[in-house]
Amino acid sequence: MSRPTGRVLTLLELLQSGGVRTMAELADRLGVDGRTVRRYVDHLIDLDIPVEAVRGRHGGYRLAPGYRLPPLMLSDDEALAVLFGLIAGRRTGLTTAADTASETAAAKIRRVLPERLARRLDTVLESLAFTEPPGEFTTPDAGVLLTIADSVHHRRPVSIRYTDRDDRRRDRTLHPYGIVTHSGRWYVIGTDPEIGEDRTFRLDRVAHARTLPGSFEAPAGPDPAQRVLSGFATAAYRHEVTLRIHGTVAQIRARLPGSVATITEPASAAGSDPATERWLHVELRVERLDWLPPLLASLDRPFVIERPDELRDLVVALADRLASSARQA
């Protein structure tokens, strides 16, 4: 947007706030002289916006009484930012269940959006799942997100240009069936038709997305959010850790969320009360072990380390340090 055009829009925003704006005030706010302000006013009048000149000592410019503003005009990026901000506010508890302000605000924005954009945003919201209250978002490109959400909704294959964590860029074909936000990042999950397996891609690493002809069926089983969490918990890392912990699933999940660990019950405990403490099987895959001993201590539950032995040594070393500190006068 050129600077004169930007200033004309700023002038309109100032006039929309109501009242009479003096020539001196407008010139100061826009950083131009009075003659330029008059030229900008002429631009608005040419656009059929009824700007009135008010004469007298306190004269200036105002919008004609009763003038109704045109429909809200937002770019794809702006609309996404507003609506996802409202959604994130509800998810993080910034608004309570009884407070409908964010919901009604989102509805108002939705009503005045151009129908084309409104339909695409509805598609994103229908395709979106949260694994947990989001933190600070790493926002993907709006065009990429809208294209992939449309593919998820209509079950259309999509071609993406993806940069992996080693900075290698490749074109991939995906059958996307879900969009998930996790820990402030956006992910698309789908089936890679070349290998017939599920893949998860970070959307902020997708530089381009293009819908392909054809269609596909979404797989049965867990929902996309659960699949993403399970994928994180079972990803290949340096260490495979196996534990048995005595407690409830809720007690263990307080320190080991679904994105970090998988929890299974012995067959003998199937169908038991979830609030009943029992021995549960816990598996993790991690790059480092040094953070696990203090975490296990913070659980304050009986546990058994099945593997690796290196973790057992680290726990014993932590216990020795804590006991030594506790014995000091």
Q: Is the model's pLDDT at 212 over the cut of 90?
A: yes
Mean pLDDT of the chain: 80
Band the pLDDT of 87: cuts 50, 70, 90.
low
* Predicted local distance difference test score (pLDDT) of residue 19: 81
* Predicted local distance difference test score (pLDDT) of residue 227: 78
Instruction: Determine which of 33-42, 139-148, 234-243, 292-301 has the lowest per-residue pLDDT on average.
Output: 234-243
pLDDT tens, 260-304?
Answer: 788 988 766 666 677 788 899 999 888 788 889 999 999 999 999
* Predicted local distance difference test score (pLDDT) of residue 1: 40
Q: Is the model's pLDDT at 233 over the cut of 80?
A: no
Cut 0.85: pTM above it: no
* Predicted local distance difference test score (pLDDT) of residue 232: 65
Q: Is the model's pLDDT at 203 over the cut of 60?
A: yes
Structural domains of the chain sorted by starting position, each given as residue range(s) with its CATH number in brackets: 3-63 (1.10.10.10), 76-230 (no CATH), 234-327 (3.30.70)
Q: Which is more confident, 113 or 327?
A: 327
Angle between helices 23-30 and 3-16 (to 10 degrees): 140
Q: Is the model's pLDDT at 315 over the cut of 50?
A: yes
* Predicted local distance difference test score (pLDDT) of residue 3: 60
Rounded to an integer, the average pLDDT of 25-48 is: 88
Q: Is the model's pLDDT at 98 over the cut of 60?
A: no
